[in-house]
Amino acid sequence: MFELPPRVLFGAAYYHEYQPYERLKDDLDLMAEARFTVIRVGESVWSTWEPENGRFDLDWLQPVLDGAHERGISVILGTPTYAVPPWLARQYPEIAGEYRTGERHGWGARQEVDFTHPAFRFHAERVIRKIVGRYADHPAVIGFQVDNEPGLHLFHNHGVFQRFVDHLRDRYGDVETLNREWGLVYWSHRLSTWADLWTPDGNAQPQYDLAWRRFQAGLTTEFIAWQAEIVREYARPGQSVTTCISYDRQGVEDDKLTERLDVTAGNPYYTMQDALALPDRNRSGQDWTTNGTWALYRSADRMYSSRQEPFLVTETNAQAIGGPWNNRPAYDGQYRQAAWALISRGASMIEYWHWHTLHFGAETYWGGILPHNGRPGRVYRELAQLGGELERAGDLVASLTPDADVAFLYDGPSKWALQAQPPLATSDGGPDKRSYETVFDAFYRGAFDAGLQSRILHPGQLPDAELPSVLVVPAYYAADDTTLDRLKAYAEQGGHLVLGPRTAYGDLQARARTDVQPARLADAAGVTY
């Protein structure tokens, strides 16, 4: 049984194999002086673990783990499946993911592979078993991260599409049921046989799109669960299994993804400098990085929401993030402010990306704790101060459960449905593909500006949740009847229910309901539209 650590873990991702010269002892000594308690290793270098097909080199990590253990630093060991080696791409080109039917991703980045393909699965399982089998018993290893930021792409490969057809056949039984449920009478899309189902590339039917998005997220969940079960065959009692989530990824449904893991782990990146000023004067939008203090808190609350439990931060800002054109390192004090903000919302680990700034590769200017010269500077000194504070605080700040004055319902399928048919426009008059987030964030930010503490819930978590006196439901468009009835019951029992635009307008298939809107809630609300 996994239990969160008795104090907040503190550290960084560390890649000794990337260093241009030998400095393991110096690095580990500096980490110990900064009061590091954890490092993350190994998840990015499959071609180092397995230089050629079937030839493994596993011993290179041993000195890192031994040195960390000697200094009381724990280790999270990653599986390297998100970045495949060139020999695997060369020998099995068919594993390349397709971003459109028949159009493969090129090699040279990461996560280009169709992770459902049997050839990929065979080699992935083999390298996972080799690595985890070699190091699971090392006393420094406290847990495992499988893969890395899954869900980057939606795969259009032939095998994936055929699995989608099988999934629909299993769910709907026959094409007549699918015709009816998806409204395929429209524009003459009625199917006469399952072979009539078109590929998603040019699709404009929203019911199809929502089913496709749910299916793709399900593939990601299945892939991560598959890896987790392999790792658990080797893990010792008390070792955790997780993956690190980038919450803006298109192929992720975080509450489903984390059900088969031991703890939530996420990678909140945020714009620093004036973007953290209060009162907030920044009007920049949200993306894989957040903008605004309120949005940093929202990131933390999203991570807490996945399992309604304290969580781990596996990556966050060390210096500049992204490309060299986005160089805005924090002002003095901001690293500590951000870390304590995350801890106040339930973070049980703060781990920075990454220890040292790389000298090569796509992320050469994505700053680490140490700069390119490898010498401690302002960032190291400030984070070392934070390490000392966490050491002194001990178990007083570990595994905190944040208070909640107001709760917000967050729904991934509704987000996907409103990406397909955005209800809002951008400033140039085009469709706002982030309409769901725009609506949700307006309510969340309002609560933050009012000084309220927030809790985010997913629809499936409502039955077990202790709800505060205010529950806000923004843009819950792909709504199921059971959840709407629970919302009504909450209001009837004295809760204050706030309904946002598009809430209760559609059903689980993203079809506009025939009820008086808001569906099933109009009488209780005393208003229709």
Number of domains the chain contains: 4
The predicted structure's pLDDT at residue 293: 95
* In-domain check, residue 313: yes
* In-domain check, residue 519: yes
**Looking at the structure, do residues 276 and 331 belong to the same domain, yes or no?**
yes
Judged by DSSP in three states, 104 sits in strand
d(C-alpha 333, C-alpha 335), whole Å: 6
Question: Which residue type sits at 163?
Answer: R
Identify each DSSP E strand in 194-263 by its residue range. Answer: 240-242, 244-245
The predicted structure's pLDDT at residue 241: 98
CB atoms within 10 A of CB 353: 23
**Looking at the structure, do residues 390 and 458 belong to the same domain, yes or no?**
no
**Looking at the structure, do residues 269 and 307 belong to the same domain, yes or no?**
yes
* In-domain check, residue 347: yes
* In-domain check, residue 168: yes
**Looking at the structure, do residues 148 and 197 belong to the same domain, yes or no?**
no
200 prior amide bond cis, ω within 30: no
Per-residue pLDDT 10s for the chain (529 aa) are: 678 889 999 999 999 999 999 999 999 999 999 999 999 999 999 999 999 999 999 999 999 999 999 999 999 999 999 999 999 999 999 999 999 999 999 999 999 999 999 999 999 999 999 999 999 999 999 999 999 999 999 999 999 999 999 999 999 999 999 999 999 999 999 999 999 999 999 999 999 999 999 999 999 999 999 999 999 999 999 999 999 999 999 999 999 999 999 999 999 999 999 999 998 887 778 888 999 999 999 999 999 999 999 999 999 999 989 888 888 889 999 999 999 999 999 999 999 999 999 999 999 999 999 999 999 999 999 999 999 999 999 999 999 999 999 999 999 999 999 999 999 999 999 999 999 999 999 999 999 999 999 999 999 999 998 999 999 999 999 999 999 999 999 999 999 999 999 999 999 999 999 999 999 999 999 999 8
**Looking at the structure, do residues 148 and 15 belong to the same domain, yes or no?**
no
CB atoms within 10 A of CB 411: 26
Q: CATH number of the domain that 118 lies in?
A: 3.20.20.80
* In-domain check, residue 207: no
- Which residue is associated with the tokens 């658990």? 232
Query: How crowded is the C-beta side of 26, counted as CA atoms within 13 Å?
Result: 9
The predicted structure's pLDDT at residue 228: 98
**Looking at the structure, do residues 145 and 245 belong to the same domain, yes or no?**
yes
| pLDDT tens, residue by residue, 186-236 | 999 999 999 999 999 999 999 999 999 999 999 999 999 999 999 999 999
* In-domain check, residue 23: yes
The predicted structure's pLDDT at residue 1: 65
The predicted structure's pLDDT at residue 341: 97
* In-domain check, residue 12: yes
Query: Of 353, 371, 399, which residue is a domain's last?
Result: 399
* In-domain check, residue 248: yes
Q: Which domain holds residue 483?
A: 406-525
**Looking at the structure, do residues 136 and 271 belong to the same domain, yes or no?**
no
505 touches 421 (CB < 8 A): no
**Looking at the structure, do residues 253 and 109 belong to the same domain, yes or no?**
yes
**Looking at the structure, do residues 376 and 443 belong to the same domain, yes or no?**
no
Query: Of 399, 434, 459, which residue is a domain's last?
Result: 399
**Looking at the structure, do residues 198 and 220 belong to the same domain, yes or no?**
no
User: What are the Cα distances from residue 139, in Å, to 33, 46, 65?
Assistant: 21, 23, 9
d(C-alpha 396, C-alpha 337), whole Å: 18
**Looking at the structure, do residues 104 and 184 belong to the same domain, yes or no?**
no
Helix axes 175-182, 158-172, angle to 10 degrees: 90
**Looking at the structure, do residues 172 and 280 belong to the same domain, yes or no?**
no
Burial of 506 (0-12, 13-18, 19+ CB in 10 A): buried
78 touches 48 (CB < 8 A): no
d(C-alpha 505, C-alpha 240), whole Å: 41
